[in-house]
Chains A and B, each alone.
Chain A
């Protein structure tokens, strides 16, 4: 069911050619006519061309190429090569799946080579820490006191601990988001905190805090009291705008118990009440996941039944255009069924052109390609469910060698 489809990457003809190369080489035995092939082919290519070629490779292949010979090793470790990498977009986002509820171990899925890698994430202490990612950098924040915040490159393991975020230390909900500039490599981190006002069932204190990597400072950008609504843990930054989901705290069965708030990080409209600019979601949702796909805000949502909104009957993908939602796709029935038991809440993460969807109850991973509008299972993650209530979750990030916090 899962791996029957053909590979997206068009190397079918390459595979055939590669076999030919190998056979050709094996024909030319050491004793045989070496004359024709005495010179190694890469000598013909000057360094700058070889750099360009290697910059087209997926990250794992770059590491392998670096161990081929001294010349290639020098090339991939040169600063100029790293600059080459920042100019091309050869990488597709990976999905890291946690395979334990406590320790942060897991596997990262590479959609180009269609492989799972057993990598270790730096800084992270447990899998329930908050995570946010942008352009190859990932930020992690602890889920206890919410005072430990790190920014790292998961591939190179470079990391930096940031100053403690301001605001309520023991907020009820926190949402973490990050945005990295491809040009300057500077980044912004935002935290949206919500705390129920004591003794009050419907009022919540909301605060938004921003960190700027160049200023190396936190600023509390906005505070507001929400009535009947609160923020949660879902937010993302797209093109300078912070979007976060809000949830109705009222007891009544409102048609839409979810909403979306856009917040302009440049602070131009910081005096308006955010709640007045909220955007309703396109239908009753069981859960919503926000992501930044090439500067567009995309939401993956569990579609709830009208009369029983906590029961998931499908999964949809919408893109925000202005203040309207445009439906991009609905998960076809066979994939929805393929998850087996899909809870009303699930994990979903994505960037560039790829969306990953995963059920908390299993290690099955589904991919949606925004360009081709196709759905596809990933190869199975090398992990098995160890006990019935084990939960799986994950997040996506871009594998980049050339960026550091």
Chain B
């Protein structure tokens, strides 16, 4: 039996349900995210405002695997009442992944314009470079194209102190 249209008219209005947005990854997987969390992405914010009627947003550049994690990040950072220290610890765990995945997060954060995730990712990679010698950096990032000795000398030049 269907309920009368104004069934809820007599009771107090229900609390506003959190608006959910659905994101669809490049490989067709869908993920739900609260609108407040999605607003952390400037790209999504623009899309939401332009496309008010629809709640399904295609994200063609990002695979399901990565998108799932990005949604997790945004949701966590939109949560109320999380203190800085625990959020920092959570972030540290979030980026404790292999290089390829980390770079995927960074590229996703760049495309979706999520400043917090982009800064976190970039700082994490910078921490991998910090303090290393040029050879160690090459090994870490598996860079095979090298500078010629002349090019390297040009960079060292007056800044030999930085290489000691």
Contacts and interface: CB of A to CB of B under 8 A. Distances in A.
A and B: bona fide binding partners: yes
Interface stretch (B7-15, B51-59, B62-70, B103-111): B103-111
Contact of A18 (B107, B140, B146): B140
Contacts of A66: 155
Interface stretch (B18-26, B29-37, B75-83, B125-133): B125-133
Which of A37, A39, A45 has the most C-beta atoms of chain B within 10 angstroms of its own C-beta?
A: A45
Contact of B155 (A44, A49, A52, A67): A67
Nearest to B161: A117
Interface string A42-72: 1011101100111011111101111111110
B138 interface: yes
Contact of B145 (A18, A41, A71, A117): A71
Contacts of B152: 67
Contacts of A37: 142
Which of B100, B124, B127, B145 has the most C-beta atoms of chain A within 10 angstroms of its own C-beta?
A: B127
A15 to B, nearest CB: 9
Given A14-B128, A56-B126, A41 B100 contact: yes
A180 B8 CA distance: 65
A276 interface: no
A25 interface: yes
A64 B163 contact: yes
A46 B164 CA distance: 30
Given A49-B110, A69-B145, A113-B131, A157 B126 contact: no
A118 B124 CA distance: 29
A185 interface: no
Contacts of A61: 129-132, 162
Nearest to B103: A44
Contacts of A70: 145, 147, 151
Interface residues of A, number: 45
A25 B139 contact: yes
A17 interface: yes
A119 B161 contact: yes
A220 B127 CA distance: 48
A63 B162 contact: yes
A66 B130 CA distance: 13
Contacts of A118: 161, 164
Contact of B137 (A64, A113, A157): A64
A70 B144 CA distance: 11
Contacts, number: 124
Nearest to A51: B122
Contacts of B16: none
Interface string A11-54: 10110011001100100000000000101111011101100111
B110 A11 contact: no
Contacts of A18: 128, 132, 140
Contacts of B131: 61, 113
A45 B103 contact: yes
A13 B92 CA distance: 9
Contacts of B46: none
A157 B161 CA distance: 13
A73 interface: yes
A69 B164 contact: no
Given A61-B131, A68-B134, A117 B164 contact: yes
Given A14-B128, A64-B137, A52 B162 contact: no
Interface in A238-275: none
Interface in A110-168: 112-113, 117-119, 157
Which of A25, A44, A113 has the most C-beta atoms of chain B within 10 angstroms of its own C-beta?
A: A44
B145 to A, nearest CB: 5
A118 B11 CA distance: 77
B42 interface: no
A105 to B, nearest CB: 12
Nearest to B159: A63
Given A13-B92, A17-B96, A68-B147, A56 B137 contact: no
B50 interface: no
A54 B103 CA distance: 14
Nearest to A107: B161
Nearest to B158: A157
25 contacts: A10-B92, A13-B96, A40-B145, A41-B142, A44-B103, A45-B103, A49-B122, A52-B122, A53-B126, A56-B122, A58-B130, A61-B130, A61-B131, A61-B132, A63-B155, A64-B162, A65-B129, A67-B155, A67-B163, A68-B146, A68-B147, A69-B145, A71-B145, A73-B155, A113-B130
> What 4 A-B pairs are tightest by C-beta distance, nearest first?
A56-B126, A63-B162, A60-B162, A117-B161
Given A67-B163, A70-B151, 18 more contacts: A17-B128, A21-B99, A22-B136, A45-B103, A46-B110, A49-B122, A53-B122, A54-B129, A59-B162, A61-B131, A63-B156, A63-B159, A64-B133, A64-B137, A65-B134, A66-B155, A67-B147, A71-B145
